[in-house]
Amino acid sequence: MLSCPVCANNAIPDEYRNITAGLFPAEGFPEGTGPVMENIISFAGILGLGNESRNPLSVLKSGAETENLLFSFQNNLDLLIQKTWVEKSEEIRKENLLDKIPGFVKGIEENRYPDVLEEFGVILEELAWLFFGEQSRKDDFTAYTLRIDTQMGLFWWYGNQLCSPAALEWMRRTDREILKTILFLGICYLTNF
């Protein structure tokens, strides 16, 4: 998912541009700022995560719900990865990705933000490769996935943004609760994928 940020942002349908620009602006955030909760909540709604049981904010309110979500996330992601058909030469890539998931979940349980968010971006890059192959590395990947399904395309746009140098920079200086909510946005989506 190394698509061109400008190309990706231009592919976003007009009705979602204000929300996506507020979540991850193309020019980055001014010093000392990052995404605001209102934009995260709006984006969660676009991804279909607006109802109580799928909303990342609802899940974060309860330790037990968070634990259940992480368990479901790990099981679903393992299943997605294992069921993805790849060439024999790519089996090692699948195994390496499967091996990353337990350590990633442990990092979440240890509240190691923003490192976990950066790692999540890498996991999403690998997952995109397994699902879409070489297409996931092309500049028009966001546009490609948006043509398949708007919510899915916006999710992969989100994943691409997590890997951007601008995002990695503001993650180091953003409020822990904002980082956690941005992370759980992706986790909730993949758990229900």
- DSSP line for 25-83: -TT-PPTT----HHHHHHHHHHTT--STTT-HHHHHT-HHHHHHHHHHHHHHHHHHHHH
Which residue is it, tokens 């948006």? Answer: 146
145 CB-near residues (< 8 Å, 6+ apart): 132, 152, 153, 156, 157
Number of domains in the chain: 1
> pLDDT > 90: what percent of the chain?
40
Name the residue with higher pLDDT: 53 or 142: 142
Terminal CA-to-CA distance of the chain, rounded, Å? Answer: 18
Taking a C-beta distance cutoff of 8 angstroms, is the pair 108, 123 a contact?
Answer: no
Residue of 95, 54, 16 lying closest to 187 (CA atoms): 54
Please report the sign of the dihedral spanned by the C-alpha atoms of residue 119, residue 121, residue 127, residue 129: negative
Residue-wise pLDDT for 62-95, tens only, equals 666 788 889 999 999 999 998 888 788 788 889 9
Least confident of 1-5, 130-134, 186-190: 1-5
For residue 167, pLDDT over 90 is answered with: no
pTM for the model stands at 0.85
pLDDT value, residue 63: 64
Please, what is the average pLDDT of the chain?
Answer: 85
pLDDT value, residue 1: 54
Q: Which domain holds residue 182?
A: 5-191
